[in-house]
Amino acid sequence: MRHARVVVPHDAPDRTPIRLARGDSVHLGDRDTDWPEFVWTTIAEGHEGWVPAKLFDRQQGPATALEDYDTRELGTQADEVVTLQYELAGWWWARNALGDQGWIPARSLELLDDDDGEDA
C-alpha cells in the first residue's frame, strides 16, 4: 500500500455524501471552476455533490452513471499519515489511522516511499 503525509489540512464539506451505482440516472449541472474534471451531480433522491465527469455517459443534463462512486471526503490534519488506495481526477481515496475512509485532494498530500509510511 502507498502512504502519504498530509501537507495541507483538508476539511470535508458539511453535506451528505452521495453514492452512485452503475446505471443510476442523474442530472449533471456545471463544471467546478477549481476542479474542471468534476461536474455538479444531482441523484434521484435530490441529493447533490461533485463527481468526476468521466463517470457518466454524457457531459451535461440527464445522464447515466458508468461506474459506482461515493463522494465522501476525508477530513485530515497536517502531518497525518494516511494509506492510499487509488487516485481519480486528482483525488486519492484514503484511510486514516482510525479506519475512516474518503477522498483527499492529491495536492494536499506528500507521497511517501513505502519504507517511510507508517501504518495508518
Give the residue numbers spanning the domain of 77: 2-12+72-112
pLDDT at 48: 94
User: Domain for residue 118, yes or no?
Assistant: no
Band (1; pLDDT cuts 50, 70, 90): confident
Is the entire prediction scored with pTM above 0.95? Answer: no
The one-character DSSP state at 8 is S
Mean pLDDT taken over the chain? 94
Regarding whether 61 and 23 lie in a shared domain, the answer is yes
User: Does residue 50 sit within a domain?
Assistant: yes
Tell me how many domains the chain contains: 2
Write out pLDDT tens, residues 14-36: 989 999 999 999 999 999 999 99
Q: How is 20-74 classified by DSSP, letter by letter?
A: E-TT-EEEEEEEPSSSTTEEEEEETTS-EEEEEGGGBSSSSEEEEBSS-EE--B-
Mean pLDDT value of segment 96-109? 97
Residue 120 counted as domain residue: no
